[in-house]
Amino acid sequence: MTASSKRRYFGTDGIRGKVGEHPINPEFVLKLGWAAGRVLAQRQGAPGKVVIGKDTRISGYMFESALQAGLSAAGVDIRLLGPMPTPAIACLTRTLHAQAGIVISASHNPYYDNGIKFFSSVGTKLPDALEQAIEAELEQPMTTVDSSQLGKAQRVRDAAGRYIEFCKGTIPSVMDFRGMKIVVDCAHGATYHVAPYVFDELGAQVIPINIKPDGLNINQGSGSTHPQATQVAVLEHGADLGIAFDGDGDRVILVDSKGEVVDGDEILFIIAQSRLNANALNGAVVGTLMSNLGLEQALQAQGVELKRAAVGDRYVMEMLQAGGHVLGGESSGHIICLDRTTTGDGIIAALQVLAEIHKSGRALHELKQGMIKYPQHMVNVRAAGGARLAELPAVRQACREVEEMLRGSGRVLLRPSGTEPVVRVMVEGMDARQVQELADQLAQVVARAAAG
């Protein structure tokens, strides 16, 4: 049994759920803050301090207060960052020399969801052992330290400015983006008071959209999960490109001057090409099982291997660290540049692409041409026991037949969902119509196997 399978509350990206339903309710989050504070104090031999940041969803206020109370009861000092992108909390945990950082966010989910995730003192996700220790402490009765030892809370007034300067420092100091017109879509999320200023201070003409969070509109018809708003704005304003973040700023999707979406695979290719030209790639690029075959082939043409991790940025990070690589990501736009920072960061990923545009003198639309995306089609089949289904003779035979029809120019993938009783059936190939037909046929075979 793996460490992750033993955890009761922590998933691959912290603890998430619907607000008001266990464990995403004030009572649990209060005790979570206390348990985390106790474990951190025990590991360090002293209470120390923890930073807390959040995105813009309305429940963030409630959970910020609950975490603050729990940490204080454990004797831990708190630094409150307010609404800040998730990667900013990783950064400020390091620069403020905190023992841990806590993020209150459900990333690209709607406002009625929320979650809690932790960063270590060096800005990486907590090790499994520490998450398990926190879960074990949750089972203990909650106590409060003596009043003289209660943790104190302070608000960090210059958090946004600190992070803006950090982001700008990830590209050469002599570089600026004067003459570029950029649409920046903040999804009414945590980047609303950060991202526009980063690009503005670097000289670009910035057209910010979806920068008026009201607690309920985060990710609503905007940002990286709904890039149509960015596409429209780019064409309306005649912009050079658009940058669309998700609600907590760890994902980014770009739009070129023609209004075409540039997804995470294409962003990964552009940054890889830039690093390769600078002799700074350091081996393979890490993607996932869902990374487009076109990315793999484009990298192979440059003599670069694409390693495929399980779906999820946690697994991309693990493979990066195990191989000593610096660049990885997902097609969703979660890009990790370990030569610049410690976690996936939408602003920093966008800056690396802009730096390559500046350096090469080539437009975004031109830079992405080196990678030809293969059409993908995915069908979700409601079924439990996905791993077992994939091994059934009828399903295996159907997969082989589809692969033969693709004639070596495509892929078949059956992947059980980690969050719901669904098997994801994906087919990828050169002909979009054929890909869709084959995926539908294979999904029918999987559905019959599940029913039988």
Active site residues: 107
Strand partners, 250: none
**Which residues, 6 or more positions from 16, have their beta carbon under 8 angstroms from its beta carbon?**
24, 106, 109, 113, 114, 115
358 dihedral zone (left: phi>0; alpha: psi -120 to 50; beta): alpha
Q: Which of 437-442's residues contact partners 24+ apart within 8 Å by CB, and which partners?
A: 438/377, 438/402, 438/405, 438/406, 439/377, 439/378, 439/379, 440/377, 440/379, 441/398, 441/402, 442/379, 442/398, 442/399, 442/402, 442/412
- Alpha-helical (H) ranges within 84-194 are 86-95, 128-138, 159-168
Is residue 423 within 8 A of residue 380, CB to CB? The reply is: yes
CA atoms of 8 and 219, how far apart (whole Å): 28
Terminal C-alpha separation, the chain: 29
Instruction: Judge contact between 81 and 53, C-beta under 8 A.
Output: yes
Find the DSSP H helices in 218-345. Answer: 228-237, 264-277, 293-301, 313-323
Residue 168 contacts by C-beta under 8 Å, 6 or more apart in sequence? 198, 201, 202, 351
Distances (CA, A) of 73 to 38, 70, 102, 133, 173: 9, 5, 16, 18, 44
Question: Which DSSP string corresponds to 65-103?
Answer: HHHHHHHHHTT-EEEEEEE--HHHHHHHHHHTT-SEEEE
Bridge partners, 254 (sequence order): 243, 262
Q: How far is CA 133 from the centre of its chain?
A: 25
